[in-house]
Structure 1
Amino acid sequence: MKSVLHGGQSVTAFPVENAPDRPVLQLAEVMDTYHRSSPWYPQKTGQGQGQWVASLADVAAGFDLILLDSYGVLSRGDGPIPQAHGAMDHLRAIGKPFRIVSNDTTALGSRILPKYVSRGFNFKQGEVVTSLDAVHTFFSGRDDLDSWAMLGAVNSPLPEVTSAMEDLVATDGEVSARVKNILFLIGMEWHISLQKKLEASAQGRQFGVAMGNPDIAAPVHDRLMATPGYYAERFMRTTGQSAAPIVLGKPGNAVFAEALKGYEGIDPARILMVGDTLHTDILGGNAMGFKTLLVESGIFTGQDTAAWIQKTGIVPDFVSPTI
């Protein structure tokens, strides 16, 4: 843990894997939560089980652009997945354009490169897009920012947008009477005690809800840690929210629109989306008309992937053990 300044005071910020009272989820709970969230997502597409391949290298040459998720594809927590460096080197070697498309809301794509450098990836400007880019686009120019509260972080990665919003970490989870909308942005400093206070203070009220990061959980080493989508779904359910949330990250199309900037002329069927999560990467990619590759190195590590594909009805074009 480390101390950071918040409002002139030193506040303890916990690393993602060490945050106190932050839920560690089982895969069945993650999938059940995604299922409850499915009315907010694109419709399911695809048939069968998908073609099983050894790795991304088996299919990459057949596409004009490769889009890749980050957590569960390139890394688990701070540690890179062993095959990831070689896979990215292969894409460079065959001259295949790619972009990382992550639901990470801790930084804009243009500012997140040091995180990847620390993990051994030599990505260049323009090769990483995050759902924070979609958040930035959505809120730019709006005149109602002071009607929003955000589930965020001590040091906001987007102060030009969030500085006018009520900080739910700073209010100890309680949402004030002036707030009409809530942005679920970052979960690293959020935990169940704050969530319960938020839910209690929101009872009997209706809000507009936006999800910057719709992920229910992220693979961190050998655990699945709750992420903002988990808290958003729980909030919607326990407080009886009636309006569907705005989904800015995958599987919504806003983050894909950011990822396709500069590549608008490519036939969607010539784009491959690589991810570890059926309800975000694969469902979102299928809905965009992309081909999709599910890797088993993320939330499905050690699981019966074929059974989950059949149970969810979300079918990738390809499945591989890892990237």
Structure 2
Amino acid sequence: MQARSKSEMKPIRKEILNPGNAYIELTPGTRVKFHFQTRRSGDSRIIDDSRRMEKPMELVLGKKFKLEVWELIVQQMSLNEVAKFTVHKSLCAQYPFISKTLRDIGKKAEERRHCCGMTLQNEGIGYSDLDELLQHPAELEFIIELISIELPEQYEKERWQITLRERGNNFYKASRYAEAETCYREAVGIVEQLMLKEKPHDEEWQELAAIKTPLLLNYAQCRLIAGDFYAVLNLDPRNVKALFRRAKAHAGAWNPTQARRDFLDALALDGSLKTTVSKELKAIEDQQQARNYLSLPPILSLTVTFAHFLVLLCSLANAFLCGWTLKKLLRALQRASRPVVNPPGYQLAKPQHILQLSEEQRRSFVGSFDRVLSDIDGVLWTLEHDVPRVADGYAALERTGKQLTFVTNNSVRTVEQCVLPEQIWHPAQSIVNYLRCISFQGLIYIIASQPFKAVLRDAGFQLLDGPNEFIEENYESLAKHIFDRQPVRAVVIDVDFNLSSPKLLRAHLYLRHPECLLIEGATDRLLPVAKGVNIIGPGPFASILVEASGREPITLGKPGRHLGELIVEHYRIEQPGRVLMVGDMLAQDVGFGRQCGFQTLLVLSGGCTREQLLAETDPRHIPDYFADSMADVAQILGEGPRSHV
């Protein structure tokens, strides 16, 4: 292969297509306008062309535009010059998001693709060419025509004119909601374009953000009147009316978990709803009890009925002995008629081993789920050995049409070391997708393993870690290693085999900044290293940061609520009860499945013994079923051993 010349190795290479009139030195605050075309290097197909958009691109230098390379490019140009710049892919990581923002300007808010977490990895950002560029970064060619240069002293900074807002308000007062919605949408688009010129969180950017917020709320109100509360909550997650209406919709469709969450969120935002929300929650509870009662096996239904009878006899006896009035007696009879799901002395059934199910129960079990979410460590293998014949179980499930996904907390093993990497969810990649989704810009302080860090670095994020060296045991030495002025905007914590007190102290200091995020990967309190042998996991150390900082973490590992919501959203799971969660840990796997409303199967091939399972008393950690290993699944499906894994 021919070696590349030094010029070809430069991160930015310029080729003048048409010389300009005169070179003007650009100072911070200078406003420039330019047209641009974007292509992959060596590809004639155009990705973006500003002439197809409403206006040329505008930048104010020194505002730290998200694609900083454009600031560098225009400073190399003369007025009216046309030049082609070939830019290394490492400098173009943010281009897909910039392009998406420019393309979305003017679109209805609900037409814009909003992605978060794992949705970004699997569904993209809404444009196939940008998705391809995001998945496979490449050198880009920008053809730039610099058409205007205005030095700071030559122009008066634009002031936002509220004409569209006033028109929207007038339409709204006249009940012309469609016209009002159009005005607010156009106004939001203009503000977003202006915000692109400013450095995020600077004074000018904050002023525009303050203008954008009421416009979005006004737009949301128009959508709410149209009955589109989902679109409203995408725009304004704290909209009380939309939360309440969505809660009612969830209750009507019998999604009790989501309904309760929305009702409680609405109450947290508006305390005056206490009475109304209490009634709604009571109605859900009553309906849940009725459903539980109807779903009990006949023998248990008989037990409940007999319990009602005993309560009735006691009420009549009290009435006779105490001389109750008729009104008091009727109240007692009303209480006695309420469903009793767990009568005194009744214990929840212990989980059943799947090989002890009857033929009818086996058929019912296999037919009760469509999707399988499976842990990896302790299920497919342990640190000591591979679990025998687990492939038979998974193969049998896939042959019966079950959809299979692996959900692991282990980002220490690289994805290449795991089976079916395209089907795996692990914390490092989930965090990358989340940060991309929020267009995260800034430095990350990370406490994690080297493979975990590599995933974030390969995604283009700047990481800071350490201290990794020995620190003398005095406060002066400690202070030198934990106090600094680094602009850290996120702290990420996962498994770190070299975790130390100075690392936690340093992370805690960064979290004093109100805009610094706290993101957790794995939160396992214990990690199985051998049969019946567990060591302390990352969970207790992450808890130290949570407690010390008082911050609500973003948890993207099991049993985190955030991860569960991402999975349910990504796979559009409407019936959580038709999902089977398979794992080897009670708190992490079974607890995760229970929290999400999934069925749960515990396998005894990893971190939990049969004795620990039978001794468990927390109902949140008791599985529906258990098995020695996934090989048992193949057996109940009528398939003998086929392979060894």
Give me the whole-angstrom Cα distance separating, in 2, the residues matched to 1:285 and 1:157: 27
Match of 1:224 in 2: 534
Q: Map Cα deviations across residues 212-256 of structure 1 (whole Å, 9 max, x no partner).
A: 11222322234324433232124445xx22123221111124434
Alignment of 1:68-87 (within 5 A): 68-77=374-383, 79-87=385-393
Q: Which residue of 1 aligns with 2:599?
A: 291
What CA distance in whole angstroms lies between the structure 2 residues aligned with 1:265 and 1:92?
A: 19
Question: What SS does the aligned partner of 1:220 have?
Answer: strand
Tell me how far apart the structure 1 counterparts of residues 425 and 373 of structure 2 sit (CA, whole Å): 10
* 1:120 paired residue number: none
Residue 51 (structure 1) aligns with: 351
- Cα shift at 1:72: 1.8
2:491 paired residue number? 182
The offset of 1:321, in angstroms, is: 3.2
Q: Counterpart amino acid of 1:93?
A: R
Match of 2:629 in 1: 322
1:65-84 deviations in Å (ceiling 9; x for gaps): 11111112222126322242
SS state at 1:168 partner = coil
Q: 1:87 to 1:169 in 2, by over 3 A?
A: farther
Q: TM-score, normalised by structure 1?
A: 0.67
> Separation in 1 of the partners of 2:566 and 2:430?
6
User: Partner residue of 2:465?
Assistant: 167
Q: CA deviation at 1:99?
A: 0.8
CA distance in 2, matches of 1:186, 1:262: 26
Match of 1:157 in 2: 455
Question: Residue 233 of structure 1 corresponds to which residue in structure 2?
Answer: 543
In the alignment, which residue of structure 2 is the partner of 1:115?
417
Counterparts of residues 1-323 of structure 1 (less than 5 Å): 48-54=348-354, 58=362, 59-77=365-383, 79-106=385-412, 112=415, 114-116=416-418, 123-124=419-420, 126-142=422-438, 145-155=441-451, 156-161=454-459, 163-168=461-466, 174-175=481-482, 176-178=484-486, 179=488, 181-187=490-496, 189-191=497-499, 194=500, 196-201=501-506, 206-207=511-512, 208-222=517-531, 223-237=533-547, 240-257=548-565, 259=567, 263-265=571-573, 267-301=575-609, 303-308=611-616, 310-311=617-618, 313-323=620-630
Instruction: Mark the CA change 1:61 to 1:137 in structure 2 (over 3 Å): closer, same or farther.
Output: same
Percent of residue pairs identical = 21
TM-score (norm. length: structure 2): 0.36
Relative to total residues, which structure has the larger helix share, 1 or 2?
Answer: 2
Amino acid of the residue matched to residue 456 of structure 2?
L
- CA distance 1:141–1:66, change in 2 (3 Å): closer
Structure 1 residues 166 and 125 mapped into 2: Cα distance closer, same or farther (>3 Å)?
A: closer
1:151-173 Cα distance to aligned partner (Å, 9 max, x none): 12335122145741312365779
Counterpart amino acid of residue 306 in structure 1: L
Please give the secondary structure, in 2, of the residue aligned with 1:297. coil
Structure 2 CA distance for partners of 1:285 and 1:299, relative to 1, 3 Å: same
Corresponding residue SS for 2:549: coil
Q: Deviations over 1:121-149 (max 9, x none)?
A: xx445332222332122111545553431
Please state how far the C-alpha of 1:49 moved relative to its aligned partner: 4.9
CA contact (8 A) 1:153 1:169 kept: no
Q: Is the Cα contact below 8 Å between 1:106 and 1:132 reproduced in 2?
A: no
2:594–2:620 Cα contact (<8 Å) kept: no
The 3 A distance-change label for structure 1 pair 256 and 215 is same
Partner SS state of residue 397, structure 2: helix
Q: Deviation string for 1:237-280 (max 9, x for gaps)?
A: 5xx22123221111124434554576325521111111122222
The separation in 1 between residues aligned to 2:436 and 2:388, in whole angstroms, is 38
Aligned residues of 2:591 and 2:620 also touching (Cα < 8 A): no
What amino acid is the match of 1:248? L
Q: Hey, what's the Cα distance between the residues in 1 that align with 2:348 and 2:467?
A: 44
Whole-Å separation in 2 of the counterparts to 1:209 and 1:286: 25
2: CA distance, partners of 1:150 / 1:204: 13
264-273 or 200-209, larger mean C-alpha shift: 200-209
Number of paired residues? 262
Query: 1:284 is matched by which residue type in structure 2?
Result: F
Distance 1:144 1:93, change over 3 A: closer
Higher strand fraction: Structure 1 or Structure 2?
A: 1
Partner amino acid for 1:115?
A: Q
Contact kept? 2:526, 2:537, Cα under 8 Å: yes
CA contact (8 A) 2:590 2:620 kept: no
Q: Which amino acid aligns with 1:300?
A: C
Distance 1:258 1:244, change over 3 A: closer
For 2:546 and 2:469, the matched residues in 1 are separated by: 20
Q: Aligned-residue CA RMSD in angstroms?
A: 3.5
Q: Which amino acid in 2 is paired with 1:231?
A: F
Query: Which runs of 5 or more structure 2 residues have no equivalent in the other structure?
Result: 1-260, 262-291, 293-346, 472-480, 631-645
Q: Distance in 2 between matches of 1:304 and 1:320?
A: 14
Larger Rg: 2
CA displacement, residues 84-103 of structure 1 (integer Å, 9 cap, x when unaligned): 22222321332322111111
- Higher alpha-carbon deviation: 267-276 or 81-90: 81-90
Alignment deviations for residues 166-222 of structure 1 (CA, whole Å, 9 cap, x no partner): 1236577954443354211342x424xx2x122344667745421111222322234
Aligned 8 A contact 2:445 2:465 in 1 = yes
Of 65-74 and 144-153, deviating more is 144-153
